[in-house]
Amino acid sequence: MSRLKCISFIFIIMLFYQFFIYGCGSKSLDRSTAEALIENSQFIIKRIISPHENGLQVGLQHDFWYQKKKYTITNTLLSKRGESYFKNIDDKYITLKNPLDIKVEVTGIADAILPQTDATGVKEAQFIWNYINVPSQIKWVCADGGKGKAYFRLYDDGWRLESFNDVLYNKNAIQLSISELNDEELDRTTIKEKKQELQRIEAERKMKEEEIKRKEKERIAQLIQESKNHTETIGTFKCISTSIAMGQRNPHANGDAILTNVDASYVHVFKSSVRNAVDSVDVIFWFGNIISIYKTDLQDNPAYPPQAYSIRFKLKKKINICPGRHADAIQFQDKQIRDDFYNKIKDAKSKWDRKYPELK
């Protein structure tokens, strides 16, 4: 009896030895061991997935992400909803918030040299993988797996997974059950209806904005027209007629000035200006176009008669009177007339600004 126990004990020890040698410490790498090492590794494909052939479009339909165009480049960005499941997205890959489980099938094992090293005693295992236990929302967009190569090296405690190479995702969608297909279709329809409702609301908002802008534009146009209505003249003043073209000297600079009238009202300054011996052009300085009014003296300017005194206007928009020349001033031969005109116009412009502050 004791001899039988001894034989049984020896047999158990031999079994344990065989397990140790051919399991974790075996010099030969079997497929099941390679599969387990890959499945239990921190393989990047567990966290970074590839969309299936229509995955990006499906994700748009489920409002997981949206596309934004800048210049000629279209970027895909996560939506608020998409951020619940995904961490990042680009044109090729999607990064998950939580890693997936994989099921690996090794299709072949051979001796190899570790890529980018001279290490020997290495095994290369070609494998395919599929995702398992995938949440429904991720199933809708995710490719079902792929293939690659894994490299293993034998250490004193057994085989260790060293690296991966030639990892390729396929473009096949994960097969959905009837229940999952119904859920996906319902979600797609719900999102579509929500988008349509948001688009309708946005269209109504834009229509209201456009109507408000149109009415405001009409109101401002009426206000401008009202602000130009000439109802009362402040006075008529004698001023020097501007009679020079660009680059020409005033023919009357050495003699008496050619005089004309300038009318001042509570909305504008109106001047009949002689441009040449035949034609004349009327110039209107509307208060809404005037930024500021100031005085200058031009006694030494050869382009004007001696003792010319000026009123200058800083304008929002130039007033062209002929090619290459625009009006922005009125010259006076009499300084007192100029000063009287200036005071009256400044006072009228201040009253106009208070009456039409929106047009200043």
For residue 194, count CB atoms less than 10 angstroms from its CB and return exposed for 0-12, middle for 13-18, buried for 19 or more.
Answer: exposed
Please say if the pLDDT value at position 49 is more than 70.
Answer: yes
For residue 214, count CB atoms less than 10 angstroms from its CB and return exposed for 0-12, middle for 13-18, buried for 19 or more.
Answer: exposed
- pLDDT score for 348: 92
How far apart CA 17 and CA 235 sit, in angstroms, is: 122
**What is the pLDDT averaged over residues 122-151?**
95
Tell which wins on pLDDT, 120 or 273: 120
**What is the pLDDT averaged over residues 37-47?**
94
**What is the pLDDT averaged over residues 178-206?**
93
**What is the pLDDT averaged over residues 16-31?**
58
Phi/psi for 310 (5° steps) reads -120, 150
- pLDDT score for 331: 85
Q: Are strands 73-78 and 65-70 parallel, antiparallel or unpaired?
A: antiparallel
pLDDT in tens, 264-315: 888 888 887 545 444 567 788 899 999 999 998 765 555 555 567 889 999 9
**What is the pLDDT averaged over residues 21-47?**
82
**What is the pLDDT averaged over residues 237-266?**
63
- pLDDT score for 207: 95
Tell which wins on pLDDT, 248 or 336: 336
- pLDDT score for 89: 94
3-state secondary structure of 69: strand
Domains annotated on the chain, with CATH: 22-184 (no CATH), 233-359 (2.30.29.30)
- pLDDT score for 139: 96
For residue 146, count CB atoms less than 10 angstroms from its CB and return exposed for 0-12, middle for 13-18, buried for 19 or more.
Answer: buried
Please say if the pLDDT value at position 160 is more than 90.
Answer: yes
pLDDT in tens, 73-100: 889 999 999 999 999 998 889 999 999 9
- pLDDT score for 322: 65
- pLDDT score for 5: 47
3-state secondary structure 27-60: CCCCHHHHHHHHHCCCCHHHCEECECCCHHHHHH
- pLDDT score for 280: 65
For residue 160, count CB atoms less than 10 angstroms from its CB and return exposed for 0-12, middle for 13-18, buried for 19 or more.
Answer: exposed
- Percent helix, strand, coil in the chain, to 5, is 35, 35, 30
- pLDDT score for 333: 85
Q: What is the largest CA-CA distance in the chain?
A: 151
pTM above 0.85, yes or no: no
What's the pLDDT band for 64 if we cut at 50, 70, 90?
very high
Average confidence score pLDDT of the chain: 83
